[in-house]
A and B are shown apart, each in its own frame.
Chain A
Amino acid sequence: AQSVAQPEDQVNVAEGNPLTVKCTYSVSGNPYLFWYVQYPNRGLQFLLKYITGDNLVKGSYGFEAEFNKSQTSFHLKKPSALVSDSALYFCAGKPSGTYKYIFGTGTRLKVLA
């Protein structure tokens, strides 16, 4: 079965420190991979996507993610966390030939002042 895994329910990081939110995937073909952020009682905001090309993808609000095919990972990173980055982050994969997304379970990021 195809899946996207986010192994951490919650990540705590001090403001100003680098942050990493982990994602691994088991998605067929050449998957498209995405990161979204969700604030309380809001929909999902697009952060970045990987389709092809450079393994390092830069996105909104200073976030970036690295596609690693051998490790089937697509971890989200930011060099310096802000308190306002505190939110729920979802990784999603889209198998080839379909428009459907497979979502991870989400990781709650808490940035402490």
Chain B
Amino acid sequence: GAVVSQHPSRVICKSGTSVKIECRSLDFQATTMFWYRQFPKQSLMLMATSNEGSKATYEQGVEKDKFLINHASLTLSTLTVTSAHPEDSSFYICSARDHTVIDNEQFFGPGTRLTVL
């Protein structure tokens, strides 16, 4: 149980285009999902907390107009990188929390590698 999927696993796009990454909780409902960014050989940086049915909460320094987050259902959150530039190239990981289980840990997706040319 507690599987989180991400799609696509990797994407290459041209500078200036927008890219959408999906994060799904497959066998549980998640009122809260998290989006992280990981640079090579570095730790995970929390970008935003995605709340079902409401606006995402962004961490300091993360541009909300550039990284659009939508959490329309209890099993799906999407991250759209708008007008992508090469500096947006990174490994993006989502996680989800099963809100029905107290003290539960976050379950992580397999990640999406974004390369912007």
A interface, CB within 8 angstroms of B:
32, 34, 36, 41-46, 49, 51, 90, 99-101, 103-106
Chain A residues with Cβ below 8 Å from B106 are 99, 101
The stretch that binds A, out of B11-19, B65-73, B80-88, B109-117, is B109-117
Interface residues of B in 90-116 (CB under 8 A from A): 91, 93, 95, 97, 103, 105-111, 113
- Whether B93 contacts A32 by the Cβ 8 Å rule is no
- Whether B49 contacts A100 by the Cβ 8 Å rule is yes
- Whether B43 contacts A105 by the Cβ 8 Å rule is yes
B interface, CB within 8 angstroms of A:
4, 6, 32, 34, 42-44, 46, 49, 91, 93, 95, 97, 103, 105-111, 113
**Could you give 24 example pairs across A and B, Cβ below 8 Å?**
A34-B105, A36-B108, A41-B91, A42-B110, A42-B111, A43-B93, A43-B109, A44-B93, A44-B95, A45-B108, A46-B108, A49-B105, A90-B43, A90-B44, A99-B49, A99-B97, A99-B106, A101-B34, A101-B46, A103-B43, A103-B44, A104-B43, A106-B42, A106-B43
A13 to B6, CA, bound (A): 33
> B97 → chain A, closest Cβ, in Å?
6
Chain B residues with Cβ below 8 Å from A101 are 34, 46, 106
